[in-house]
A = this chain, B = another copy of it.
Amino acid sequence: MTKKSTNTLWHHATITRADREALHKHKSVIIWFTGLSGSGKSTLAHAVEEYLHKVGISTIVLDGDNVRHGLCGDLDFSDSDRIENIRRVSELAKLMIEAGVITLAAFISPFKADRDDARKRVPHGDFLEIYCQCPIETCEQRDVKGLYKKARAGKIPFFTGIGSPYETPGMPELVVNTHELTLEESVKKVLNLLMQRGVIKDIVC
């Protein structure tokens, strides 16, 4: 075989997102959980993932635990670095749905403009914003990680809700009042949304 024909044979194959969704037998979407620290975003995301995984759906959870020390390990909590953090996470989530994986992103993501940017990166309908609504007093009472205490003591200068603002979502796809609902009830609300959007067919409990 001559070099020329070898070159000719090097055509470019392309497996698309639609191909990968077909393999996984479900649509891929980004489920974006936003809310104050301690509002239950990450816990809810993991609980929804647990359900989806059990019914054979490909999933990943992105949250501070697997992103802040890795991909975004060079960023701090200043406004500019928070913006860059959310930009990278949204690009990462975009690639995850390209891989046909339902992506549950749980980040405080306090700025509306950043969440809107994340939404705009993907086709219409592929970004579901879920606002984990919980009064700051309740989050502060829970204070699972002891962060509110540190923030009140001035040890965390840009802590959302204290030293830095949280901008409430105007038109999220779903609001979950995590201080009033059980985890099971909260999961069901998210699953109902996924059913309405045609991501899952029914809820098997």
- Which A positions have Cβ atoms within 8 angstroms of B? 1, 3, 6-7, 9-15, 19-20, 23-24, 40, 42-43, 46-47, 49-50, 53, 56, 58-62, 66-67, 70-71, 73, 88, 91-92, 94-96, 98-101, 121, 142, 179, 181-184
Contact = CB atoms under 8 A, between A and B. Distances in A.
B13 A49 contact: yes
The 10 lowest CB-CB distance pairs between A and B, nearest first, are A13-B50, A60-B99, A71-B91, A70-B91, A13-B46, A15-B53, A10-B183, A9-B183, A99-B101, A13-B47
Contacts of A1: 182
A94 B58 CA distance: 16
Nearest to A73: B91
A1 B147 CA distance: 27
Contact of A12 (B43, B94, B98): B43
Task: Count copies of this chain in the complex.
Answer: 2
B99 A43 contact: no
Nearest to A101: B99
Given A40-B10, A43-B10, A59-B15, A95 B92 contact: yes
Nearest to A13: B50
A182 to B, nearest CB: 5
Contact of A71 (B13, B24, B92, B183): B92
Nearest to A7: B142
A135 B42 CA distance: 49
